[in-house]
Amino acid sequence: MPVRSAVAVLVFFATIQVSSVTAQQFTKRELGITTSIIPNDRIGATTDSGIGARFSYNFTSSLAVETEANYYLTGTSQRGLLSGGRAISLLAGPKAGIRKRKFGIFFKSRFGVLTFSNVFNTAALSDLYSTSRKTHAAMDLGGVAELYPTSRLVLRLDVGQLLVRYGDSTLLVFPLGNGLSAEERTDGFVVSPWHIAVGASYRLGSLQTIVESETGPSRVQFGVQYTLQTLQRDVLVTRDESAIGGWLTYNLNRHFGFDAAASFFPREMRFVSFQQGGQMIQALAGVRWGVRRDHWGVFAKFRPGVQIYTLASGFDFRQLLDPHQNLPTFVNLAFDTGGIFELYTSRHTMFRFDAGDTQIHFRKRHFLDDKGNPFTVGGETHPSIQLTVGFGLRF
């Protein structure tokens, strides 16, 4: 799913010819309504659909910041520890791209929350009917297509992912009487359902035309970076892992370039499982496509690579209790999709901000149990939320 989404955004940008100077009509403020769906955004197979409102503030014809609120009418009577009832999303973030006279194509990255109204109230352990609201961090990542049938009206289609970080280690206690109780525990995870919206906006205030120059790129860009990756570490916990590393970009022209990065995550996970454990090392390399202005640039990226775990379970369980057994390093595939925002602070210095979904494919493994019988652990793919900030040089 994220691979198809990223490729679609790259193709959008690649098929549009951008002149070196753009002068498109716009207003500073836009107010709109929207209707959206989020398929399978809960633990079950619920598809939420709802209505909402959006406010956009345009700094230029190609760069804006947006806020959006959606109320999902579908709801569910089922209460859980993480979701239940009706959902509300609150999101805010930048939108940047290409605006022509009759249409525009943009990339968006918005941060906020997804909150549910009818969740078990873990603070009221003696009342099984008591409910509370449960709120989870979310990031809306994708593309926007706009049509301008008149000078004031904007018709809009949003397609992307809503990455949601559900909380982990929530505990609920059921009193059974006679001093006995039962416990229910749920573990956190990250989901990345589609988020599709259709809407209309009205341009407020006076119409403006600002000429934006598009400068040529530096051929080589490189720098240091800090990365925060929210991912599931085995089946027991979802963690926010920090890393340090570096990145390198080679620009073929003002729109297209090759991009690579490497990061080291120093925190060690002492619980070793079949496909991960220990510390993490991430290496990614791929392509990016976007638009560039005098002082900033925005790009969609697609970077395959690997996520390496320094420890994993051995292949032979007959050595499970051997303190001298050699636990292998295990390499899983990774696919990083999302967006890059660059701020050019001088001729040779810059800041870089990445937001994306790094899908990790945990490969299938074959083992021997404690009696020497073979068994297989199947492969699976999990999304993760990855945010990066970096400082670099360009030449």
Whether residue 245 is found in the same domain as residue 184: no
Final residue before a domain boundary, out of 147, 178, 213: 213
CATH of the domain at 110: 2.40.160.20
Whether residue 205 is found in the same domain as residue 249: no
What local confidence, expressed as pLDDT, does residue 351 receive? Answer: 98
Query: Does 2 fall in a domain?
Result: no
What local confidence, expressed as pLDDT, does residue 375 receive? Answer: 80
What's the domain range around 86? 20-213
Whether residue 82 is found in the same domain as residue 141: yes
Whether residue 174 is found in the same domain as residue 30: yes
pTM of the model: 0.85
Whether residue 172 is found in the same domain as residue 288: no
What local confidence, expressed as pLDDT, does residue 123 receive? Answer: 57
Whether residue 209 is found in the same domain as residue 324: no
Whether residue 348 is found in the same domain as residue 220: yes
Whether residue 298 is found in the same domain as residue 333: yes
Whether residue 147 is found in the same domain as residue 266: no
* Low-confidence stretches of the chain (pLDDT beneath 70): 1-23, 43-44, 76-78, 121-131, 168-177, 179-186, 235-236, 313-327, 369-370
Whether residue 312 is found in the same domain as residue 356: yes
What local confidence, expressed as pLDDT, does residue 127 receive? Answer: 54
Final residue before a domain boundary, out of 213, 236, 252: 213
Whether residue 323 is found in the same domain as residue 392: yes
For the stretch 318-351, pLDDT in tens is: 455 555 556 678 899 999 999 999 999 999 999 9
What is the tally of structural domains in the chain?
2
Final residue before a domain boundary, out of 189, 213, 237: 213
Query: Does 15 fall in a domain?
Result: no
3-state secondary structure the chain: CHHHHHHHHHHHHHCCCCCCEEEEEECCEEEEEEEEEEECCCCCCCEEEEEEEEEEEECCCCEEEEEEEEEECCCCCCEECCCECCEEEEEEEEEEEEECCCEEEEEEEEEEEEEEEEEECCCCCCCCCCEEEEEEEEEEEEEEEEECCCCCEEEEEEEEEEEEEECCCEEEEEEEECCEEEEEEECCEEECCEEEEEEEEEEECCCEEEEEECCCCCCEEEEEEEEEEEEEECCCEEEEEEEEEEEEEEECCCCEEEEEEEEEEEEEECCCCCCCCEEEEEEEEEEEEEEECCCEEEEEEEEEEEEEECCCCCCEHHHCCCCCCCCCCEEEEEEEEEEEEEEECCCCEEEEEEEEEEEEEECCEEEECCCCCEEEECCEEECCEEEEEEEEEEC
